[in-house]
């Protein structure tokens, strides 16, 4: 019997990380699910500026960001990141899923909300947001999301999509949060799951700001994916 084709997954790193750092830090996860998932890691298009909020102590390679809070236009940087990811999806997709860590989880939520809006006929009142959504026409909406140490992005534009006519993100999602996370407190990840998504699953671990990947957790991720594939 032929082995099912691995699902193509877009992987979004945390603040001050890059594609290689995130790939290195997800080694056990990546190796254990390699038959199920084809993981594609990309580096955010902006240089990180606020190292008080770093997601890694590793200083090797570029310190990248999906946006900088200290920027004169944080949402402008988000828009540039969305356009970068749009080009990535069109060149290297379609993607069946998205994995995001910390700021990457927030970026994934923004991307999914915009992609969902592109698949919806409901009008968007903000003309600038409308144009950004239209650019995502034709991009396949991922089948699921795995989000780690995430948070609800504090942008009016994102909030207007989630709380407005578009509604919360309907893509099935698993949110993993750490009870001892001192960088992104656990309640912020729970807020993203409960307010940003429909029917989200949330799991807690005893540690801090990292993606748990011991054998028990790897089995949990596999079960989540397998259950979705059966439906």
| Tens digits of residue pLDDT in 181-200 | 999 999 999 999 999 999 99
Question: Mean pLDDT across the chain, nearest whole number?
Answer: 93
Least confident span in 107-116, 143-152, 155-164 = 155-164
* DSSP secondary structure letter of residue 164: S
Of 2, 192, 167, 222, nearest to 100 by C-alpha is: 192
Residue 55 has a pLDDT of 58
- Predicted confidence band of residue 52 (pLDDT cuts 50, 70, 90): low
Residue 41 has a pLDDT of 98
Residue 87 has a pLDDT of 97
Summarize the confidence of residues 107-130 as an average pLDDT.
Answer: 92
User: What whole-number percentage of the chain has pLDDT above 90?
Assistant: 85
Residue 213 scores a pLDDT above 70: yes
d(Cα 97, Cα 7) in Å, to the nearest integer?
7
Collapsing DSSP to helix, strand or coil, 102 comes out as coil
Summarize the confidence of residues 77-91 as an average pLDDT.
Answer: 98
- Predicted confidence band of residue 22 (pLDDT cuts 50, 70, 90): very high
d(Cα 206, Cα 231) in Å, to the nearest integer?
31
Find residue 173's DSSP bridge partners: 145
86: Cα separation from own chain's centroid: 14
d(Cα 174, Cα 73) in Å, to the nearest integer?
30
Residue 122 has a pLDDT of 82
Residue 56 scores a pLDDT above 70: no
Residue 1 has a pLDDT of 44
Residue 48 has a pLDDT of 95
Summarize the confidence of residues 80-96 as an average pLDDT.
Answer: 97
Residue 171 scores a pLDDT above 80: yes
Entry pTM: 0.95
């Amino acid at each position: 019997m032929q082995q099912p084709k691995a699902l193509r997954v877009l992987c979004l790193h945390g603040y001050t990380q890059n594609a290689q750092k995130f790939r290195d830090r997800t080694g056990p996860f990546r190796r254990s699910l390699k038959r199920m998932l084809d993981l594609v890691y990309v580096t955010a298009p902006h240089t990180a500026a606020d190292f008080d909020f770093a997601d890694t102590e590793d200083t090797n390679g570029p310190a990248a960001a999906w946006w900088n809070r200290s920027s004169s236009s944080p949402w402008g940087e988000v828009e540039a990141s969305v356009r970068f990811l749009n080009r990535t999806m069109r060149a290297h997709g379609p993607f069946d899923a998205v994995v995001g860590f910390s700021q990457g989880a927030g970026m994934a939520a923004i991307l999914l909300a915009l992609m969902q809006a592109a698949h919806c006929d409901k009008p968007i009142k903000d003309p600038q947001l409308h144009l950004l959504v239209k650019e995502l026409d034709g991009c396949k909406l991922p089948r699921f999301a795995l989000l780690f140490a995430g948070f609800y992005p504090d942008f009016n534009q994102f909030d207007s999509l989630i709380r407005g006519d578009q509604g919360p993100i309907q893509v099935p999602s698993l949110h993993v949060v750490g009870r001892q996370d001192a960088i992104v407190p656990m309640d912020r990840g729970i807020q993203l799951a409960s307010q940003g998504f429909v029917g989200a699953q949330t799991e807690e671990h005893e540690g801090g700001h990292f993606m748990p990947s011991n054998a028990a957790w790897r089995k949990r991720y596999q079960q989540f994916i397998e259950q979705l594939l059966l439906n």
